């Protein structure tokens, strides 16, 4: 599970960086940041809800 979350976080970070590098793609940076934060929150919440075995 954590592997998928880390891969998504890296993908969103790359989208945000590309969006900031190319000024015309600023919307891409905003989407990347929103998705990065959303994925991070979902990952943290899932870890807290799942009982440790």
Q: How many whole angstroms separate alpha carbon 40 and alpha carbon 34?
A: 10
pLDDT of residue 52: 62
Residue 34 structural domain: 2-49
Q: How many whole angstroms separate alpha carbon 17 and alpha carbon 36?
A: 12
Q: How confident is the model at residue 19 (pLDDT cuts 50, 70, 90)?
A: confident
Answer for the pair 22, 34: CB distance below 8 angstroms, yes or no: no
How many structural domains does the chain have? Answer: 1
Q: Does 50 score more than 80 pLDDT?
A: no
For the chain, what is the mean pLDDT? 85
Q: Give me the half-sphere count of Cα atoms (radius 13 Å) on the Cβ side of residue 21.
A: 6
Cα→Cα distances 4→9, 10, 37, 42, 52, Å = 9, 10, 15, 12, 19
Q: pTM above the 0.75 mark?
A: no
Minimum mean pLDDT range among 10-14, 32-36, 49-53: 49-53
């Amino acid at each position: 599970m954590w592997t998928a979350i880390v891969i998504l976080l890296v993908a969103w970070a790359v989208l945000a960086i590309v969006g900031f590098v190319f000024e015309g793609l600023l919307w891409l940076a905003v989407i990347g940041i929103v998705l990065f934060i959303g994925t991070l929150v979902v990952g943290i919440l899932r870890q807290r809800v799942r009982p440790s075995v």
